[in-house]
Amino acid sequence: MKNARHPLSLYIHIPFCTLKCAYCDFNSYAKLEDLIPPFVEALIAEMRLWSPVVQSRPVPTVFFGGGTPSLTPLPELARIMAALRDCFALEPEAEITLEANPGTVNRDYLRGLADLGVNRISFGVQSFDDGELKALDRIHTAADALRCYRWAREAGFQRVNLDLIYGLPFDSPSASRRAAQGERVMMERWQATLEQAIALGPEHLSLYALTVEEGTKLAHDIERGRAPAPDGDLQAAMYEWSGERLARAGYRQYEISNWCRPGEECRHNLVYWRNGQWLGLGPGAHSHLGRKEEGGRGKEGVTYRFADVYSPRQYIERVRETAAAGIDAGGAAPALLASMRQVTFVDPQPAELQMADTAILALRLNEGLSVDAFARRFGRSPDDVYGAVFAEMTALGLLERAGGHPDGCSGERIRLTDRGRYLANEVFVRLLPDQPL
Amino acid sequence: MDRSRIRNFSIIAHIDHGKSTLADRLLELTGTIPARQMAEQVLDTMDLERERGITIKAAAVRMEWAPRPRPSPEEEGRGKEEGEAARETPLLPSSSSLLPGGEAGGGGATYELNLIDTPGHVDFTYEVSRALAACEGALLVVDASQGIEAQTLANVYMALDLDLTIIPVVNKIDLPSAEPERVAQEMVDVIGFKRDEVLFVSAKEGTGVEALLAAIVQRVPPPSGDPEAPLRALIFDSKYDSYKGVIAYVRVVDGEVRAGRRLRLMQTARTVEPLETGVFRPSFAPTDGLAAGEVGYIATGLKTVRDCRVGDTVTDEARPAPAPLPGYKPAKSMVFAGLYPANSEDYELLRDALEKLHLNDASLNYEPESSVALGPGFRAGFLGLLHMDIVQERLEREYGLDLLATAPSVEYHITLTDGSEVAIASPADMPEPTRIAGIGEPWMNVSIVAPDRHIGNIMELVTGRRGEYTKMDYLEHDPHLKAGERRVLLEYKMPLSEMLVDFYDQLKGRTQGYASMDYSFSHYSPEDLVKVDILVNGVPVDALSMLVHGERAQQQGRALVERLRSLIPRQLFEIPIQAAIGGRIIARESVRALRKNVLAKCYGGDVTRKRKLLEKQKAGKKRMKRVGNVEIPQEAFMSLLRIGK
């Protein structure tokens, strides 16, 4: 996994939350704050474990996600940042993003973050409607969000993202909700939220349709008839409206759920979508690593997706065990990963799967899939692999071909149409390899 | 064995009234199968039978029993423990006094008892009738807590027609809810038994079973028939064995079967050289031959049970009987359905599975059929609904097939405008409406037994399905019974097509589970029927066509398109769903185009999980049938079954 000069991003998972939100199925835990100090200890230990393996690779982006990273006290975060710089080849201009919950931060904290080198902040605002926030079990109010935003700017943050959720069905689950009137109320509420966000003028906006994930409180409530299920048609209408509104406000959509001012794309997330490589640290953090020299056929070689154990307690224990036993730093990827006891599953990615992932992830981006880049990476043209699907989906108006991209990327590209963007799964399922691998 | 010591008998019982348990007890008591080897319901060998607690294929067993001169001490002891003992005493005199005088009076004489088990469901009426025809006697077993049911009556009348001696048995007297006296009285009132003929038994606990054996010996006459006459043996069942070929289960009426003699099947005109003859203990036990009056088997060497039909007569090739035994009737399919592999690559598998099932089930008919919507498959004919259910379940369970079955249909007789007649078993095969002069459909005689408080509900159900009331009789004449508690026998005529879909469930539902039903074919009757076609996205889907009564075409067509609208998932374009008669659209709905199918977020790069979600969607698509460019889920093809009646 030593892959000199091949960039490697870092994802750091902070699994703690004050309260678990109704819709959330991320790897996060409320009431475990006591574990923060030993967790930070383990996180730093994990960095030291990986350091000899990947220290030569330049790190262009770091992303602190959660959970609620902003629950980490500044001194602990300072230790993490110091270890980061010590263990990895952080680029001088690296993008360092931290997710913050508006209910957990104050002016000093935001200043402290900026001082530590965090240069991009992402607020989980979700809504500017207090009723909706309450229904989502968020711990903050709209006023908190507005205040935080101002403090962040005062602290000098020049890159701010707001996460928003639309398509909330939290009115009473009565029949009238289905009526046009109910839909109009929900639409207006969403419009007000987005207008408020636009008025603040963040560099970046992520708009997520509320999704009912298995095992969440929301799923449970819907099952029991205590909450209505989100209405996909209404979400589609909200999405359409939002796209137009944001374009008028000068935002450019660059991914299914993401908009930004020109040049303000989240570079870290682009690594995912371009099927690049990153190392995830912390409980439940996913990684995608590999190198060309290692095994496999085709130009790309085999890469590995893997994740650390999900439970914070187990994570702390396993990292300690690994640190005590030592790792097989010089070994091939499977041996190395086997010696990392905090790693819970390893999923080798043969070329066929990498091709599908590359195509699916690239199509999420407005820039789409570059025919040349794909061919260079896998030695096969995407039309050669997916020609029939492309033709069928193009005929149905879900895909289109484009020449050069405004970004200056040259060559032919395949991308979702405006209509296709909200039906993306219909395209993606057809790109999956036939036999689940 | 001396013919005078042979007793051939069957057990007639409604489902769940304990026939199989009683058979088990008889086997145990006669030592045919030692108690420790008794698996429950020995005679029911198919898994499905054990699970459903019903007998699908008949079986036979030979038992040997020597009546004891006196009741054993434990029999007496058991009698005293039972609360019913006092009442049983006059009804169950000691075994010795039951024995026929003379030959058996000495005590130690051994009798050969042949129990011929009958299939316990209405669809297998003909098989039941042949099993009964192989006997001189029958035990009528009625549950002490349930009373006589519709099907019991049908079988009793069949046994009476065949001049069988019937021994009435009230079973399950151990149940807390048992009302043995009331049920015994019902048997007296309805069928005309004498009160003191009725035996009381708990097959589960063994109470009264010894006395029952004694009654069989005493009351059932030994076989008559002429041992010197040319051979005539009745085939009452047949079974395919992969080593011995088709095995015919026979009752020898006249003459004898000798090993090595060529035999002839009189109806199918097949000549066979038997590989082996024998009796059932209950597994096959070879013998040198079978004499008049005996029950046993002949390994025919035939390759399919179709050549060895139930009801046929076996005779000696060299010295044939002048006439076959009466009552032969080829099996006739009453209910039809298309069977398609859910995955069209499995067509060959389905064909092989049907072939194998068919080896053992002469009443299953099938022929290849091709549906525009579903691709290649088979149109299969069944004796009835249960038979269809069982075949489908066996195909899925025993052959691991994922099946798509279309809604069941009956056989229609179509008179064309040119005067010719055709029979069709699938609405899809219906000629153009302009060529049709008339359509006839099968009607059934339906009898239903239920407490009289449910009469209104039953009437409503039956007449709502074009049924016509014939008559009603009270089964119980006890004036002390409260109104609403007395059980009635209701008789109707109704079209079979109206019974195909959830009729029995509805009947059970509307009578709190109390009603029992029996039916038999009555006649074909010309009806005002029209074919309703379903078009999905403008393409007719043959597998969804249905024949309905003209008056209700509109309503049924509407119900079906509404149902389909809710079953067909939204796709990338709007899908109109129409019901049409000929070229005229009678109902229309549409499935709106899908607007959203997207994963909003891929958190922290968990691509694996995202892919799993997509895999799940992909698997869902695979389970659907593509008709034109529309994906139709399998349930849609069964939706004909669910439209409100």
Q: CATH code at B352? A: 3.30.70.870
Q: Compute the distance between CA of residue A359 and CA of residue A369 in angstroms, rounded to an integer.
A: 6
- pLDDT score for B42: 56
Q: Which residues of A269-301 are buried (b: 16+ CB within 10 A; e: fewer)?
A: bbbbbebbbbbbbbbbbbbbbbbeebebebebb
Residue B254 corresponds to which amino acid? D
Which of the two residues, A41 and A403, has the higher pLDDT score?
Answer: A41
Of the candidates B515, B363, B502, which has an alpha carbon nearest to the alpha carbon of residue B14?
B515
> For A127-179, what is each residue's pLDDT tens digit?
999 999 998 889 999 999 999 999 999 999 999 999 999 998 755 545 445 55
Q: Same structural domain for residues B539 and B518?
A: no
Of B204, B265, B209, B205, nearest in space to B72 by CA: B209
pLDDT tens-place string over residues B17-42? 888 889 888 988 888 876 656 565 55
Shared domain check, B488 and B579: no
Residue B455 sits at φ, ψ, to 5 deg, of -55, -45
**Contact: A272, B602; criterion CB under 8 Å:** yes
Looking at residue B588, which CATH number applies to its domain? 3.30.70.2570
Task: Tell me the C-alpha distance between A391 and A395, whole Å.
Answer: 6
Q: Does B260 touch chain A (CB under 8 A)?
A: no
Residue among B471, B489, B239, B534 at smallest CA distance from B358: B239
Q: How far apart are CA A428 and CA A416, in angstroms?
A: 11
Residue from the list A13, A286, A424 with its beta carbon closest to the beta carbon of B598: A424
Interface of B with A in 577-636 (CB under 8 A): 592, 594-608, 611, 614-615, 617-618, 621
Residue ending a domain, among B219, B251, B279, is B219
Least Cα separation, residue B568 to chain A (angstroms): 16
The reply to whether B24 and B156 lie within a common domain is yes
Tens digit of pLDDT for each residue in B561-577? 998 999 999 999 999 99
- Amino acid, single-letter form, for residue B304: T
**What is the domain partition of chain A in residue ranges?**
9-272, 358-431
In this prediction, residue B642 carries a pLDDT of: 59
R_g of chain A, CA atoms, integer Å: 22
Q: Is the pLDDT of residue A15 over 90?
A: yes
In degrees rounded to 5, what are phi and psi of residue B490?
Answer: -105, 135
| Domain harbouring B161, CATH code | 3.40.50.300
Query: Pick from B595, B601, B614: which is nearest to A422 by CB?
Result: B595
Q: Are residues B535 and B512 in the same domain?
A: no
Contacts of B58 (CB under 8 A, 6+ apart): B116, B117, B118, B119, B127, B131, B236, B237, B249
Q: Residue A407: is its pLDDT beyond 70?
A: no
**CATH of the domain spanning A9-272:** 3.20.20.70
Pinpoint the alpha helices (H) of B274-422: 347-360, 385-399
A:B CB pairs within 8 Å: 96
Per-residue pLDDT at B85 exceeds 70: no
Q: Using the beta-carbon criterion (under 8 Å), do A257 and B614 form an inter-chain contact?
A: no
Q: How many CA atoms lie within 13 A of A408 on its CB side?
A: 1
Q: Do residues B535 and B522 both lie within one domain? A: no
pLDDT higher than 60, residue A293: no
Q: Assess whether B520 and B453 both reside in one domain.
A: yes
The predicted model scores a pTM of: 0.69
Q: Tell me: do B455 and B540 sit in the same domain.
A: no
Closest among B395, B386, B390, B406 to B337, alpha carbons compared: B406
Contacts of B449 (CB under 8 A, 6+ apart): B148, B149, B150, B153, B475, B487, B488, B489, B490, B515, B516, B517
Q: Give the whole-number percent of chain B exceeding pLDDT 90.
A: 46
Q: How far apart are the first and last CA of chain A?
A: 23
Domain A358-431 has CATH 1.10.240.10: no
Which pLDDT belongs to residue B501? Answer: 77
Residues B193, B66: Cα–Cα separation, whole Å = 27
* Residues of B in Cβ contact (< 8 Å) with A357: 607, 611
CB-side neighbour CA atoms (13 Å) of A430: 17
Q: What is d(CA A35, CA A312) in angstroms, rounded to the nearest whole number?
A: 8
pLDDT reported for residue A291: 65
Q: Where is the domain boundary, B405, B426, B460?
A: B405
pLDDT tens digit sequence for B298-311: 999 888 888 888 89
CA angle B596–B599–B601, rounded 5-degree value: 135
pLDDT digits (tens, 9 = 90+) for B315-331: 999 999 999 998 887 77
Angle formed by the axes of helices A232-248 and A180-200, to 10°?
30
Give the structural domain span for B538: 530-642
A288 touches chain B (CB under 8 A): yes
- CA-CA-CA-CA dihedral for B532, B363, B489, B457, to nearest 10: -30
Cα Rg of chain B (Å, integer): 28
Residues B185 and B296 in one domain: no
- With an 8 Å Cβ cutoff, are B604 and A235 in contact? no
Residues near B355 by Cβ (< 8 Å), separated by ≥ 6?
none
Contact call for B605 and A357, based on CB within 8 A:
no
**What are the residues whose beta carbons fall under 8 Å from the beta carbon of A383, sequence distance 6 or more?**
A371, A390
Looking at the structure of chain B, the number of domains it has is: 5
**Domain end point (choices B186, B219, B252):** B219
Q: Is the pLDDT of residue A430 over 50?
A: yes
Q: Which of B598, B605, B617 sits opposite A422 (nearest CB)?
A: B598
Find chain A residues with C-beta within 8 A of B602's C-beta: 272, 361, 364
Whether residues B215 and B253 share a domain: the answer is: no
Residues of B in Cβ contact (< 8 Å) with A391:
none
Q: State whether B596 and A396 contact (CB < 8 Å).
A: no
Binned at pLDDT 50, 70 and 90, residue A405 comes out as low
C-alpha–C-alpha distance, residues B62 and B99, integer Å: 20
For B500-531, how does the pLDDT look when each residue is reduced to its tens digit (9 = 90+)?
877 888 898 898 888 888 888 899 999 999 99
Residue with the bigger pLDDT between B90 and B419: it is: B419
Whether residue B535 is found in the same domain as residue B519:
no
Nearest-Cα residue of chain A relative to residue B620: A429
What is the domain-level CATH number for residue B519? 3.30.70.240
Which residues have a Cβ under 8 Å from the Cβ of A427 and sit 6 or more positions away?
Answer: A363, A389, A393, A398, A399, A416, A420
Q: Are residues B464 and B548 in the same domain?
A: no
If asked whether residues B40 and B172 sit together in one domain, one would say yes
The ipTM estimated for the assembled molecules is 0.88
A114 touches chain B (CB under 8 A): no
